[in-house]
Amino acid sequence: SQWVQLGADIDGEAADDRSGQAVSLNASGNTIAIGAPDNDGNGSNSGHVRVYRSNGSQWTQLGTDIDGEAAGDRSGGAVSLSADGNTLAIGSAWNNDNGNSAGHTRVYRWNGSQWVQLGADIDGELANGLSGTSVSLSADSSRLAIGAPWGAGTGQTRVYHFHNTNSIPLGTTIVGETVDENFGESTSLSGDGNRLAVGSPFKGLVPGDDNNVTGSASVFSMVDQSLRLGGLRDAEADGTPSNFADGDGEDEDGITYSALIAGTTANIDVSVAGRAGQLDAWIDFNADGDWQDAGEQIYSSEPVSVGVNSLSFAVPNDAIGGGSGTTFARFRLSTHGGLTVTGASPDGEVEDYQMVINAAPTLNSIPDPPKIRIDAGQQVVTLSGITAGGVESQPLKVEVASSNDAITGTPTVAYVSPSSAATLSFSPTRAEIGIATLTVTVTDGGLDQNLATPDDNAVTQQTFQVEVIQREDPWTNSSSVFDVNFSNSTSLLDALLLVNLSNRFPQYSFGLPDLSQKAGEDINGDGISDPYLGNFYPDVNGDNKATLGDALSIINRIHQIANSQQAASEGENVARDVPFTSAPENLIQLDTATRSVVASAIRLPWNTMEPRRETSLQTMAINSALNATQSEPKDTKLIGLLAHAAERRPYCISEPEVREHAEQTWDLALTSFTEANWLRFDANSESSLAQTNHPDTRDR
C-alpha cells in the first residue's frame, strides 16, 4: 500500500505567502484548511486562510479568503477544523489587540455560502504571549485549546468551552514547568475534548547551549467537575422535563430562601459546587401554572461561582393577586447559561421549589412630633393605616422600640387586631435629653395565621424621631421667651393666655408655683382642673411672676417685628417717633350682651418731620383707654386695648420709664379683672378704620 495524492497541489496565492505553514483536515478528510501567515491581503504579513473541499477528484475553495485583522498579525500561523469541517479556528499569534504580540484566535462557521465568525475574538491574556501559536478543536467544536508559548515566562495553554457563540474558559490555565520551554508551541485535543496534548520544544534548554535541547510533550485529562446546585446532584427517577410550574422536588438542596414578601426585595442563597457557572431562574408570581408571563424570569445567565452566592430580586406588589399563597420556582445551573424553562443543557442541574408569597402589612408614616420638654409627662401618638396588606385577613401585632430608653422610657403600644389604628405612649424619663428614634413594627401571621411561627410572617416598619430638650427655667421658654404655649411661634394667643391666667390666678403676680404641682390638679381650689402647667411658660420677663406686664411684652414683640417689616418695605427707620392722635370716643366699644370688645381707629399723622421724644403708642393708648369712659370697668377697657394694640400694630416700648409706666397701668387694673377670660374681634373695626379720610392722617 502507498499514499496517493488526491487532486493537484493547492498552491499559495503569491510569493512569500508561506502558504501551508499550518494545515488541518476534517474527520473524513474531504475538507482542508490552509494557513498562509505572510500573505498581504489585508496589509503586509496580515496572513490569510483558505478552506477547500474535495469532490473526489479536485479541491474547490469554500467561500473567500479569511484575511487577518491587521498588518503583521500573521493570521493562519495555526488552524484547526472540526470533525464535520464546518467550524474553523485560526490563530494570529502576532496580533496586538490586547497588548503587543498578545495574539488572538478567531472561530468561524460555514453557513453554506460563507465563513461567519462565532462570537468575539479570543484575545491573548498577556502581552508578548503569542497566543494562537497553536490551536486545536474537539470533534464537535465545543472545546478549543489555544497555545501561548511565550506566556507566563514558561508558556501556557488554555482550553475554552463553546456554547452557541460564547467561549468560556474550561478549567484553569495550564502553564509550563520551566522558564522558556515554550509550553503551548503545539496543542492537540482528543475528539471528545477530554484529553489535551501540549508540546514544549525548548524544555531542558541549557542557557547558552541551544544545541542541547531535549524538548517535551505532556498529556492532560479533564476531570469531571460535576457542576451542580448544592452538595449533591438530585437524581430524578423519571427524568421527565415539564413546562408546568406545579412541582417541588423536595430533595433539592441548592437554594436557600425564606417567605417572599410582595412589594419588597427578596434574598436567596445559591450554593454552587464543582465549578463556576451561570444561573437561569423563574418564579410563577401570578400562580397561573407556568413561567411564561412577563417578569417571571428573575435571572438570565447570572454568573455564579463555587460556594454560596447571595442574590436578590424584586417581588411584584401584585404577586398572588395581591394576597398570600404558594407558588413554584425553577432554577437551572449550567456552564453557559441562556437556558429556557425546558430544553437540553450539556451540563449542570435543575431544581424546582415551592415558595410562599405573603403580602406585607401596612402602616402609615409617622411624623416627628415637636420638641418635648424633659418634664412634659406622657406623650401619646396615634398610629393609623394598619392592615394585613392586599386582600388578606391575618392576625396582626404592633410593637415599638426606642433607640434610647434613657430618653423616652420604654414606649408601649395599645392595639387590638385587626383594628386599623393603635395608640403609642411614651414618657420622657427626666434622666436624659437628646434624640431617640422610635421604630414601630407591624407583623402579620402569615399563611398559617400564626404569629408564633415567624418563617412566613411579613413585617412592615415605620420610624420617627423624638427630641427631648432641657427646661432650664421651669416657667420661661428658653427657646423663645415670647412663646408662652410652646407652639414654636409668637402670636396674640400667647398674650391672651396670660391675661386669662392673671385673671384666674392673681396670686401668680406675686410668684409662680413650684413645679411639684402637676398639670390637671385643682391649684386654686375652684373645683376645676388647671391646665396651665406642663408645656406652658407664662414668665416672659424672667421675674418668676405672671403679670399683665408679660402680656404687654409679647404685644411689644409682635409689633416690633411687624413694624420692622413694614418700615423696611416703606424705606422708613424702624424706631422713628411720630405724633399721636386718637378718637377716644371710638377707641373702645363694649358689647355687654355678647361679652365682646370692638377696638376702632387709632391714627397717626403721616406727613410730619417734627422730631419728638421716643414714645410708646401702647402707653398713650392705655391712658386714652382709662380716660375714655370712666363708667366702664377698667378690665374691659384693658382687654379692648390689648385687642386694639394687636390690630393696629403701633411702635414698640423702648424707654425704661415708658415700660414702667405701662406695667403700672396694667397692675392698677389687675384688681378689677373679673371673668373676662376671652374676647372677640369685630371685623367692622377694620371697615370703620377704612372710612377715616382726614387729609393729615394715614392709618397705621
| Mean pLDDT confidence for 317-342 | 89
Please name the helix (run of DSSP H) or strand (run of DSSP E) that holds residue 355, with its range, or none: strand 349-359
Q: How far apart are the first and last CA of the chain?
A: 130
- Same domain for 134 and 253, yes or no, is no
- Same domain for 343 and 296, yes or no, is yes
Residue 42: inside a domain: yes
Residue 15: inside a domain: no
Half-sphere exposure (Cβ direction) of 450: Cα atoms closer than 13 Å: 6
| Mean pLDDT confidence for 351-370 | 92
- Judged by DSSP in three states, 20 sits in coil
Alpha-helical regions (H) of 346-491? 405-408
Contact by Cβ (8 Å): 518, 378? no
pLDDT in tens, 129-158: 999 999 999 999 999 999 999 999 999 999
- Same domain for 130 and 156, yes or no, is yes
Query: Which residue range(s) make up the domain with 245?
Result: 228-359
Strands 174-175 and 277-283: what pairing?
Answer: unpaired
The whole-angstrom separation of Cα 444 and Cα 461 is 12
Count of structural domains within the chain: 4
- How many angstroms from the chain centroid is the CA of residue 315? 16
Q: Tell me which of 221, 256, 277 is where a domain ends.
A: 221
pLDDT in tens, 495-512: 888 887 787 778 888 887
- Judged by DSSP in three states, 497 sits in helix
Q: Does the structure show a pLDDT above 50 at 665?
A: no
Residue 630: inside a domain: yes
- Same domain for 291 and 171, yes or no, is no
Q: Tell me which of 162, 188, 221 is where a domain ends.
A: 221
Nine cell digits for residue 407: 430618653
- Judged by DSSP in three states, 307 sits in strand
Which segment of 152-156, 533-537, 557-561 scores lowest on mean pLDDT? 533-537
| Mean pLDDT confidence for 21-34 | 97
The whole-angstrom separation of Cα 126 and Cα 134 is 16
Residue 14: inside a domain: no
Q: Which of 94-103, 155-164, 425-434 has the highest mean pLDDT?
A: 94-103
Contacts of 363 (CB under 8 A, 6+ apart): 383, 385, 386, 398, 440, 442, 460, 461, 462
User: What are the distances in angstroms from CA 652 to CA 107, 543, 574?
Assistant: 93, 21, 10
- Same domain for 511 and 592, yes or no, is yes
pLDDT in tens, 41-92: 999 999 999 999 999 889 999 999 999 999 999 999 999 999 999 999 999 9
Q: Tell me which of 329, 359, 389 is where a domain ends.
A: 359
pLDDT of residue 616: 37
- Same domain for 129 and 166, yes or no, is yes
| Mean pLDDT confidence for 413-436 | 94
In this structure, the number of other CB atoms found within 10 A of the CB of residue 97 comes to 14
Between 343 and 304, whose confidence is greater?
A: 304
The whole-angstrom separation of Cα 510 and Cα 440 is 47
- Same domain for 123 and 199, yes or no, is yes
| Mean pLDDT confidence for 456-478 | 84
CATH number at residue 39: 2.130.10.130
| Mean pLDDT confidence for 297-306 | 96
- Same domain for 327 and 354, yes or no, is yes
| Mean pLDDT confidence for 463-486 | 82
Question: Rounded mean pLDDT of the chain?
Answer: 77
User: What are the distances in angstroms from CA 665 to CA 53, 550, 635, 638, 658?
Assistant: 122, 13, 11, 9, 11
- Same domain for 400 and 535, yes or no, is no
Q: Does the structure show a pLDDT above 70 at 634?
A: no
The whole-angstrom separation of Cα 556 and Cα 577 is 15
Between 647 and 132, whose confidence is greater?
A: 132
Contact by Cβ (8 Å): 336, 168? yes
Residue 477: inside a domain: no
- Same domain for 538 and 676, yes or no, is yes
Residue 541: inside a domain: yes
- How many angstroms from the chain centroid is the CA of residue 319? 22
CATH number at residue 301: 2.60.40.10
Residue 499: inside a domain: yes
pLDDT of residue 448: 83
Nine cell digits for residue 152: 507566563
pLDDT of residue 363: 96
pLDDT of residue 486: 77
Q: Which of 200-204, 342-346, 565-569, 607-611 has the highest mean pLDDT?
A: 200-204
pLDDT of residue 162: 82
Residue 484: inside a domain: no
Please name the helix (run of DSSP H) or strand (run of DSSP E) that holds residue 109, with its range, or none: strand 104-110
pLDDT of residue 296: 95
User: What are the distances in angstroms from CA 510 to CA 63, 175, 545?
Assistant: 113, 99, 6
pLDDT of residue 164: 67
Please name the helix (run of DSSP H) or strand (run of DSSP E) that holds residue 391, with its range, or none: none
pLDDT of residue 323: 76
The whole-angstrom separation of Cα 201 and Cα 149 is 10
pLDDT in tens, 173-196: 999 999 999 999 999 999 999 899
pLDDT of residue 157: 96
- Same domain for 539 and 657, yes or no, is yes
Give me the count of residues in the chain. Answer: 700
pTM reported for the whole predicted model: 0.40
The whole-angstrom separation of Cα 441 and Cα 461 is 5
- Same domain for 190 and 277, yes or no, is no
Which segment of 197-211, 227-241, 394-408, 588-602 scores lowest on mean pLDDT? 588-602
